[in-house]
Amino acid sequence: MNEKHLSERPCPVCEGREGSTLAQLCYALFDDLKMPGQKTLLECSKCGMLYDDVRFSDNQLQEYYRRNEHYAVSSIGGSGSVSKDNKARYDRIIDLLEPGSSGVILDFGCGQGGFISRCLQYGLKAVGIEPSAKSRKAAQEAGLHVYESMDSFVTENSSCKIQAAVFSHVLEHLMNPINLIRFFAEYANDALVYIEVPDADSYLSPKAVRWQEMYFEHLSHFRKKNIAELASRSCVEIKKEGEISFSKLQKDIRCRFIVGRFSFKSQRTEVSTMPDFYPVSQLPSVSVETIPHDSRPLALWGVSQYAMLLLGSCPELLSRIRHLFDASPAKIGRRIRGIVIEPSSNLSSLTDDHVLLIPKSYFLFQMRSQLPDAGFKGQVIEV
């Protein structure tokens, strides 16, 4: 039976405080963050929501996103870039929303502003909210109207009518997502709303946990019933809901979406009965069983949040790491437990007695194909 846990952070759906412990998660974060990487994955005893009890404050989390530079230089899904794959995602959201010609579409957590740009191409009015200073600057330099916070948007646009609000892969990043949705329901009552989140059922099965989708930044893990419950308790009338792949290139990442309308008077505060609620058993520990137990030094290429989970969860792995490599300018030069992150071009400096670890990611095949040019002939292991 899972251990009961009284959480500091309330459940993001029903705001209860008691849950069953499913796993202890530890991430080896960048040394300069000064932020604890430990989290406790819980299942709410009241509504069945899966969420993380954390050791950092909401102010620390806000500062983390303010300083975040990764999404400003990335072109993959979730960054708000204007890649072909992302444009297809944006078109899907617009088609599901069916917005009108009047009023503004507000994209909360817009990143580089790719969705806003796509809306403008269709003759729609759109603005964004983005806490990351670097991502916001990239969007503004592209001529887009992007604000640091909802307060700054309201201050400068007091008479602006919002016809739709978009929360695409945002709510899982927040400490208290229900308060944000309730605010919008009151501020933009009767506006359309689109919500999309990762589907926790696809990556938190005890039989096959997809640890590569357990990002440090994801604090809430929504299942079908949870996202519907969140909508009902935060004044959203659901018009359409479903399951969908994140994108064509990342089709193995499953998501849940809701299309609805804010209706401030329809708020329900009690948790509904959940006949299909089912508990999750305690999850297995994060492990790296494929790594040989010998004295050869290790190097890791691809400092993703999944890599940070591996490093933080397996001290014996971190003790053997001699080199960290990554292609992102937002990561190169930073340190994890004192180990500096080098550019991928430095792979050529490795000797053949190193074992090179490549964490699972969207870039796995591409990275494999680059190894011959790097001249590395040692053992390569995907983890």
Residue 267's pLDDT is 58
CA distances from 11 to 14, 124, 141, 219 (A): 6, 36, 38, 10
CA distances from 136 to 118, 194, 263, 318 (A): 16, 21, 30, 34
- Sorted by where each starts, the structural domains of the chain and their CATH numbers stand as 4-60 (2.20.25), 65-266 (3.40.50.150), 298-382 (3.40.50.720)
Partner residues linked to 261 by β-bridges: 192, 237
Amino acid at 18: E
User: DSSP characters for 141-208?
Assistant: HTT--EESSHHHHHHH-TTPPEEEEEEES-GGG-S-HHHHHHHHHHHTTT-EEEEEEE-GGGT--TTS
Least confident of 80-94, 150-164, 185-199, 280-294: 280-294
| Pair of tokens at residue 109 | 């957590």
Q: What is the pLDDT of residues 253-287, one digit of tens each?
A: 999 999 999 997 655 666 665 545 667 888 988 98
Least confident of 140-154, 328-342, 351-365: 351-365
Judged against a pLDDT cut of 80, whether residue 23 lies above it is answered with: yes
Residue 237 · residue 261 · CB < 8 Å:
yes
Q: What is the pLDDT of residues 152-178, one digit of tens each?
A: 999 998 889 999 999 999 999 999 999
Please calculate the CA angle 366-371-377 and round it to the nearest 5 degrees.
Answer: 150
Interhelix angle 224-233/177-187, rounded to 10 degrees, is 40
CA separation for the pair 167, 186 (Å, rounded): 16
Predicted TM-score (pTM) of this structure: 0.93
Residue 1's pLDDT is 53
